[in-house]
Amino acid sequence: MKGKPRNGRSSDAHNGNGRAGGHGRGNGHADRSRGAARPAAHHPHHPSDIGGKKMWLYGIHPVLAALANPRRRAVRVLMTVDAESSLGARLDVLAQSHPSGLPKPEILTRESIDRILPRGAVHQGVAAQVQGLDDTDIEDICRATDGQDSTRVMVLDQVTDPHNVGAVIRSAAAFGAAAVVLPERNSPGDSGVLAKAASGAVERVPLVRVVNLARALARLKQAGYWCVGLDADAQTPINEADLSGKVALVLGAEGEGLRRLTREHCDLMVRIPINKGLESLNVSNAAAIALYELARRG
């Protein structure tokens, strides 16, 4: 993994698309409430110690996954009294094993946490300000999967909704995909919305942001990947296609599908057979079904 921090745009807005991904086309400090921050198992850690892009994660699964990730550095941890009561012991264990330590949790009211986080954030009484993960590039993935016979990589062509991207990352983790590749432009940056939708999977599946998606597909081909695009109008059903070996599964933006140049770099186009009369599937649903079909074959 490369050692430079990600500079993806932070987007907490819900950017809806249309037709299914390729298968169709305040950092304010609030007053503490009662309760005290726990002990010295948490190493001293201050925001000034950490450079690079910082972001807020919220919700039990995204926050605990981030704090358990040795590659992730935390700046602040916020908890309500109830959350501290149920999760405090687990947080102490994570603090003891984390290579750079964890900050002492700040015990706040739910309303105080609401004021710090983006509007509408569903935090379940837990939030953490963290440093962005180091960038991963396409060469990292090619090296990491060299010699593996049945690796899967997800490629998203201008899927802009962070909820959809997060859900795809979650499915990628569930089915053991090696990475999710997406363009630097016209895709959501790292954000709490994306991380919440991924339910902790952003800590497990590398995100590879590339300047040129067509060149990334060409590099994956050189590394032995079969590039397979999903499109509702494709002639071949995915369950009838030969998808053995390394596969890069390519999904396009809802509404527009795969761009022409992306499509031209695919070795094969397939479709998920669905009932006539329904135009397409949501891109994250299509990704989960396609990944299951690949996993089912072993």
Give the domain-ending residue among 97, 131, 165: 131
Helix, coil or strand: residue 167? helix
With respect to residue 90, please indicate whether it lies within any of the assigned structural domains.
Answer: yes
The reported pLDDT for the residue numbered 298 is: 65
Give the domain-ending residue among 131, 157, 183: 131
Looking at the whole model, is its pTM more than 0.85?
no
Same-domain check for residues 261 and 286: yes
Same-domain check for residues 64 and 182: no
Same-domain check for residues 249 and 266: yes
With respect to residue 248, please indicate whether it lies within any of the assigned structural domains.
Answer: yes
The reported pLDDT for the residue numbered 278 is: 72
Q: Tens of pLDDT along 17-73?
A: 333 444 433 333 334 333 344 433 443 333 333 345 899 999 999 999 999 999 999
Q: How many alpha carbons lie under 13 Å from residue 219 in its C-beta half-sphere?
A: 19
Burial of 114 (0-12, 13-18, 19+ CB in 10 A): middle
Per-residue pLDDT of the chain (298 residues; tens, 9 = 90+): 444 444 333 333 333 333 344 443 333 333 433 334 443 344 333 333 334 589 999 999 999 999 999 999 999 999 999 999 999 999 999 999 999 889 999 999 999 999 999 999 999 999 999 999 988 999 999 999 999 988 999 999 999 999 999 999 999 999 999 999 999 998 999 999 999 999 999 999 999 999 999 999 999 999 999 999 999 889 999 999 989 899 999 999 877 789 999 999 999 999 999 887 776 789 999 999 999 999 987 6
Same-domain check for residues 89 and 125: yes
Same-domain check for residues 57 and 188: no
Number of domains in the chain: 2
CA distance 143 to 72: 22
CA distance 192 to 50: 19
Give the domain-ending residue among 104, 131, 158: 131
